[in-house]
Each structure stands twice: as structure tokens, then as C-alpha cells.
Amino acid sequence: MTESSVRVRVPATSANLGPAFDCAGLALSRHDVLEFAVLDEGLLEVVMTGEGADTLPTGRDHLVVRAFEAACAELGWHPPGLLVRAENGIPQGRGMGSSAAAVVAGVLGAWGLCPDVEQVDRDAVLRLTTELEGHPDNVAPCLFGGATLSWMTGTGARAARLDVHPEVRPVVLVPGETLSTQLARGLLPEMVPHADAAHAAGRAALLVHALTRDPSLLFDATEDRLHQRQREAGMPASIALIDRLRADGLAAVVSGAGPSVLVLGNAVSEVAIRALTPADWAVLPSEVDVHGARVERGAAEVSSR
């Protein structure tokens, strides 16, 4: 990298984690790595490898570029031209936070490249990325790492970070097909029974304790009545797989909007998970990414607050 370039590394994420719909998320050790550099006046170049390289746009309609330009407008700074090199490791359209990672990467790229910015204000970045993404449940863990709880206030998005218990080993099961978040949300009913809402609140509270203090409670803590079964028509194979995994005592949930499945297991559960997963699904063992997004300018990491 040169002095007029930055490198941004953003993790995949899994949102909801069962009952904590639209408020909980987990950062995973699978990443997109992007380099941003200033080019001459009027030039824009987007070069991609890895996931989605053959299908994603390479102009100003690329989500990373749109987020970068939105952040530049927020900062009051505009480079004459822009080069984006992306190595995509996050599967697209699978419920692993690829769009949130793109938005976070673009905003952080502008923040890191702007000559007037000495450090990244992650709270300000959270607010802007939430405005661009529409909700904070994926952008929060992407930014802060670990597990996060996020919520909206009158002044924008807020988030609290949780340290995940070291015994928790996420495994993501990825089918061949994709599912758009918009379609998945369109399958949700406008009203839910009071009993289901109360159940979700109780299990979401238990989820915090299970993730941080007692992973033996994750099976109960991830039981959902609020949104997963309601979206079965859009991902029947995913719900069927979750049923098989949970029948075997494994804490399986829809990853984000799906159709991937997240299992919050431990070091010995991967064998059982593989045995129950269809052969045409990818099994991606992971770790919890404890760092979240990272920004490097030259050889140094840009500080944040």
C-alpha cells in the first residue's frame, strides 16, 4: 500500500441468533479484504476476486462504492478518483452479512483514506452504516467484533459488545441457493401472538447469558417462535435441516435472513453437524472474530474510539 491507500478487513456476521430478531449478531472468522486508493480525476476502478466476483457490479452501483461515496459526503471530502480492490471471502446472499460487510468496508475506506481524519469514530460509523443498511444487527458485529446487541434511539443506532465464551464454536452450513433479505422479510406476518413475543423476550435474555457465561444453555436460548418458521416457505430445506439438528440437541438457527444455517456448537459437535448436513451443503467451521473491522493506512492500523 501507498500513503494514499488504506486496507479494510471486515468479518462475516450472523444476525438474530434465533430469538433475538433484529438486535443480536455475531462476528465470524471469514472476511472480505478491500484496498482503497486515490486515482486521478474522474477515474473509478473496481477489481474483485473471490465470492461474487463474476456477478457483482464494477461501477458506481457497487455497494462498496455507494457506501464510500456516502461516507465522503458525510466527511465533506471527495477524492478525485478511486480504486477498489476486493478479495471477497464472504458468501453472497446466504445470510452471512455480505451486504453489511460491503457497507462497513466502504464507509471505513472513506474514513481511513480521508486526510482530515486521524482516527475512526466507530459510533459515528455505526450510525451511518445503519442508515445505509437499514438495520444495525449485522453492521454492529461487523464493526465491533464478538457478539453485539444493537438498538435504535432518537439519535440513531447504538450497540453493546459482548465477549463470547471461548467454548462457543460457530459452524455455518451454506446451501447452493441464495435468498434475498427483502424476500425473507416479506414472508413475516404483521402481527405475532403475545405469547410468542413473551417467549422471544425471555429466550433473547437467556441468550446473552448462554453466549457469555454458560454455553450449555445455548440450545434452550436459541429456540425461536418469532420469525424462522414463518419464513419456511422461502427456505424449506433450511428449516428442515434446523429441525434435524435441533432434534439431535444442537443449537441450530437460521443465519440472518437465510438460507444458511448457523450452529453454535463446541469442539466435539462438528462431527455430528457434518453427519446431519446434506452433502451438497458447504460446512464452514468458524471462530468468533473478536476484533471486528480493521483499517490499516500504510503499515499502521488506524486507531478508533
Cell numbers 446451501: residue: 175
Same domain for 175 and 144, yes or no, is no
Residue 295 pLDDT grade (very low, low, confident, very high; cuts 50, 70, 90): very high
Residue 47, in any domain of the structure: yes
Same domain for 18 and 116, yes or no, is yes
Same domain for 151 and 14, yes or no, is yes
Same domain for 236 and 268, yes or no, is yes
Q: How many domains does the chain have?
A: 2
Distance of CA 261 to the CA centre of its chain: 14
Residue 155 has pLDDT above 60, yes or no: yes
C-alpha cell at 252: 441450530
Percentage of residues in the chain having pLDDT higher than 90: 83
Q: What is the CATH number of the domain that holds 158?
A: 3.30.230.10
pLDDT, tens only, 230-288: 999 999 999 999 999 999 999 999 999 999 999 999 888 999 999 999 999 999 999 99
Residue 25, in any domain of the structure: yes
Distances (CA, A) of 54 to 49, 58, 246, 253, 257: 8, 10, 36, 30, 23
Q: Mean pLDDT over residues 116-141, rounded?
A: 94
Residue-wise DSSP of 180-211: -HHHHHHTS-S---HHHHHHHHHHHHHHHHHH
Residue 305, in any domain of the structure: no
Same domain for 184 and 247, yes or no, is yes
The CA-to-CA distance between both ends of the chain, in Å, stands at 24
Helix (H, G, I), strand (E, B) or coil at 128: helix
Same domain for 129 and 14, yes or no, is yes
Query: In this predicted structure, what is the pLDDT of residue 291?
Result: 96
Query: In this predicted structure, what is the pLDDT of residue 192?
Result: 87
Query: In this predicted structure, what is the pLDDT of residue 186?
Result: 79
Q: What is the CATH number of the domain that holds 183?
A: 3.30.70.890
Same domain for 109 and 254, yes or no, is no
Same domain for 179 and 260, yes or no, is yes
Q: Give, as one character, the DSSP assignment of residue 165.
A: P
Residue 299 pLDDT grade (very low, low, confident, very high; cuts 50, 70, 90): low
Distance of CA 139 to the CA centre of its chain: 6
Same domain for 9 and 155, yes or no, is yes
Q: Please list, in sequence order, all residues whose beta carbon lies within 8 angstroms of the beta carbon of residue 61, skipping any fewer than 6 positions away.
A: none
Residue 4 pLDDT grade (very low, low, confident, very high; cuts 50, 70, 90): confident
Alpha-carbon distance 43 to 82, whole Å? 6
Residue 303, in any domain of the structure: no
Same domain for 153 and 211, yes or no, is no
Same domain for 21 and 93, yes or no, is yes
Query: In this predicted structure, what is the pLDDT of residue 19?
Result: 97
Dihedral sign from CA coordinates of 88, 91, 96, 98: positive
Residue 303 has pLDDT above 90, yes or no: no
Range of the domain at 35: 5-163+289-298
Instruction: Find residue 120's DSSP bridge partners.
Output: 304
Say if residues 137 and 23 touch (Cβ distance below 8 Å): yes
Same domain for 124 and 189, yes or no, is no
